[in-house]
Structure 1
Amino acid sequence: MINKKYFIISAFMLLLLSCGDRDADIPLDNMSGRIVIEGNISDQNGQSFVAVSRTVKISSGDDEYSPVANAIVTVSDSQGHVDTLKYENGVYKPVNLVSNYGEIYTLSVTVDGVTYKATSKMPEYVNLDDVKQSKIFDGFNNVSGLIPIFTDPAAKGNYYLFKSKLKDDDNNDTSYTVMSDEIGNGEVNGKPISIDVQYGVNQYVTVELQCIDASVYNYFKAFPQAVLHNSGATITPTNPPSNISNGALGYFSAHTSSSKTITIQE
């Protein structure tokens, strides 16, 4: 079953995006049979995985995702360590992988004799100090917004992906928001996320801050307010600018993670 998930761009980025390249109008025809790779290397134990699937055209004309269980999947680092991932419960999981800040990881996925590769650098860790709730004007009404409190590092060139959803509810809609420090470099963040997803009073909402590299940021920013598809473990926009070679869809992200859970107030 495909669940709808919502992706928003923080309001302070809209002007920048309107001046830059946009990939949301890429034609989506003839996508059946394409390999889709969703790779995540996290600094948190148990959160690293690679999902490999193939797009399959169904009777409605939409694409679904069929898991690929016979791929050869490895992740290596700049020190020469290579980990061959093990397939279990629909995804490939590391066996001996060690994550380190600043390390460059290379993903290799071989399916039916074709190899797809990608690299991603794990940024330095940024802590999510708090999440505050505030009324925010969305252009039409005052709505409940969530503001992640964190301090952007002094060095410019930091990119963030925020995920917010009801705590312990994997079937609930998840909101995705990207930010960069193009505006507000080195400052404490005061910009909201998740204003398009409204939660009920006394509900528990978990917000995760991921520090990501530029290629992953560009992947997610290509779909402002687009519907993303859940292929089992995570999400896959249909045809954004992938950092994976050989025509595969998807992304490979080595990232840090910090989370907070809050109770929604009136």
Structure 2
Amino acid sequence: MKTLKKIILVVIVIIFASCSDVVDVEVQEGPKRLVVEASLDWEKGSEGNVQTIRLRESTPFFSTNTNMEVTGASVVVTNEGSGASYNFEDQGNGEYLTTNFEPVLEQKYMLRIEYNGEIYTATETMTAVTDITSVFQGRKEGFDDELLEVHVVFTDPEVEGNNYLFKFQREGDLLPDLETAKDEFLNGNEIDWWYEIDEDDDTEIEPFKPGDVVDIEMYGISKAYYDYIKILISQLGGVGLFESTPVDVKGNCVNTTNPENYAFGYFRLTQVVKTSYTFVED
């Protein structure tokens, strides 16, 4: 009897397994759009003459095709004050390069891209950044007083409306963390900006420990770019109960030929200071 029951059970499993159908769900795909990565970043102490702009086309969410680089476009950046123009030469891999760019603080520049018979334009101002005066480690200022954190100290200029983008990347980590700040309540004061890493069992990310090296970049950014990047950062964590729903975030690149076919991405011009810190035993 037990043997008979086992045979019947196996037959039932086989029947149900053989009756399962593959259901193809048709996912609606949006139109392909030009994606513009045009960050002209001028590191303090450098000439800033070598700059790269990257162009590609957007891909459907479930697509495995990563070869979407755009070639054959015309890319020009113009200093609207002096009239000087800088041609970005097509490198054949989605990158467009110039080696003679001249960055001028507080000067407005215009980006012009011609691709597939359409013209995209954007304007932005080269935004200055103050110096980092000190970098040190601690444990008391973060959300967890047992975790190491790095502190970046700088003095905000007295002029109002300064906005900052911070990029922290521990050596060996795959991706950096981005954070934004503004001087709305701290104008003209010394600012101590701290950063720590929480332990995450799902991604196997560990907090800072002695010997870790973290690379730090601080950018001066415009108010418009601050608003743009703040929305993107809020969406990086995915969708949760208290998190933002991912939506299309339009940058400042406008399609003047066909406004409905707008581009993704942003044209920004920033000054940046870079440093690194190595954690020690405390």
Specify if TM > 0.5. yes
Question: Which structure: greater strand fraction?
Answer: 1
Q: Is the 8 A contact 2:136 2:152 kept in 1?
A: yes
Q: Is the 8 A contact 1:108 1:118 kept in 2?
A: yes
- The whole-number CA distance in structure 2 between the counterparts of 1:130 and 1:74 is 38
| Residue 86 of structure 2: aligned partner | 83
- The whole-number CA distance in structure 1 between the counterparts of 2:67 and 2:247 is 11
Of residues 42, 54, 58 in structure 2, which corresponds to 1:55? 58
Q: Where does the alignment leave 5 or more consecutive residues of structure 1 unmatched? A: 1-28, 229-236
Letter in 1 for 2:276: T
| Residue 122 of structure 1: aligned partner | 126
Of residues 160, 170, 188 in structure 2, which corresponds to 1:166? 170
- The whole-number CA distance in structure 1 between the counterparts of 2:65 and 2:155 is 40
How many residues of Structure 1 are paired with residues of Structure 2 in the alignment? 227
Q: Is the 8 A contact 1:31 1:55 kept in 2?
A: no
Q: Is the 8 A contact 1:42 1:99 kept in 2?
A: no
**1:40 and 2:39 are equivalent in the alignment:** yes
- The whole-number CA distance in structure 2 between the counterparts of 1:226 and 1:62 is 22
| Residue 111 of structure 1: aligned partner | 115
Shift of 1:166: 3.0
Q: 1:142 to 1:176 in 2, by over 3 A?
A: same
Alpha-carbon displacement from aligned partner over 1:210-246 (angstroms, at most 9, x marks no partner): 1011111111111344328xxxxxxxx9732411112
Alpha-carbon displacement from aligned partner over 1:111-165 (angstroms, at most 9, x marks no partner): 1011111111112331122222222566566432222111110000111111111
Q: 1:32 to 1:252 in 2, by over 3 A?
A: same
- The whole-number CA distance in structure 2 between the counterparts of 1:163 and 1:172 is 13
Q: 1:56 to 1:153 in 2, by over 3 A?
A: same
Letter in 2 for 1:256: Q
| Residue 219 of structure 2: aligned partner | 210
Q: 1:47 to 1:195 in 2, by over 3 A?
A: farther
Letter in 2 for 1:254: L
- The whole-number CA distance in structure 2 between the counterparts of 1:46 and 1:238 is 35
| Residue 96 of structure 1: aligned partner | 100
Q: Is the 8 A contact 2:137 2:279 kept in 1?
A: yes
Higher relative contact order at CA 8 Å, sep ≥6: structure 1 or structure 2? 1
Question: Which structure: greater helix fraction?
Answer: 2
Aligned residue for 1:192, secondary structure, equals strand
Root-mean-square deviation (Å): 2.7
Q: Where does the alignment leave 5 or more consecutive residues of structure 2 unmatched? A: 1-27, 199-204, 238-245, 256-261
Q: Is the 8 A contact 1:220 1:240 kept in 2?
A: no
Of residues 220, 223, 226 in structure 1, which corresponds to 2:235? 226
**1:156 and 2:160 are equivalent in the alignment:** yes
Deviates more, 1:99-108 or 1:39-48: 39-48
TM-score calculated relative to the size of structure 2: 0.71
- The whole-number CA distance in structure 1 between the counterparts of 2:143 and 2:133 is 28
Of residues 165, 178, 181 in structure 2, which corresponds to 1:179? 181
Shift of 1:195: 4.1
Q: 1:150 to 1:138 in 2, by over 3 A?
A: closer
Q: Is the 8 A contact 1:118 1:244 kept in 2?
A: yes
- The whole-number CA distance in structure 1 between the counterparts of 2:37 and 2:280 is 35
| Residue 24 of structure 2: aligned partner | none
Alpha-carbon displacement from aligned partner over 1:15-55 (angstroms, at most 9, x marks no partner): xxxxxxxxxxxxxx744511110111122336632111101
Q: Is the 8 A contact 1:146 1:195 kept in 2?
A: no
Letter in 2 for 1:52: L
